[in-house]
Amino acid sequence: MSYETLDRIADSYIPLLVVCCLILVVMPFQRGLTAAGLVGARFVLLVALVATVYIWMFADARWAIWPALGRLDYSTHTALALALVMFLWVWVARLRWLWIGSFIAYVLLMRYQAYHTFLDMVTTGLVMGACGSGILYIYRRLQGRVDHS
């Protein structure tokens, strides 16, 4: 395949994940308006994960965190894809391997297309993975408090 074709495939991955996430956010409405709290909770979780991506992007732009680590580059694409995959991982457990496989394929495609180095993507993924795991942990704790009160 040509570079341009692979570029179009790479460019369509995150919008496809966003559509999947938004569908999952509003799906509880199928059960009626009583599910509005679940819709709100899912939306807040999604916003928190995505906000983390851009907080790190702005922090890196302001303080040059990744370049200070040795000519590295913060990969917003990696961070956003990982945040969306983490959200999907939580809500569609039966497709976990699909989400992970698609993310790995996306990372390999970004490397093949020379968007980022593996080290750029690994360091970004480690930071986003840690932050995202923290957000998911807090979400689960809060969810348990609401469910048991």
How many structural domains comprise the chain?
1
Instruction: Give the tens place of pLDDT for each residue, 121-149.
Output: 999 999 999 999 999 999 999 887 654 33
Tokens 């916003």 sit on residue: 47
| Structural domain for 92, as ranges | 3-147
Q: Given pLDDT bands bounded at 50, 70 and 90, which one contains residue 39?
A: confident
Q: What's residue 35's pLDDT? A: 74
User: Residue 32 pLDDT more than 90?
Assistant: no
81 contacts 13 by C-beta, under 8 angstroms: yes
Q: How many CB atoms lie within 10 A of CB 24?
A: 17
The reply to whether the predicted model has a pTM over 0.85 is yes
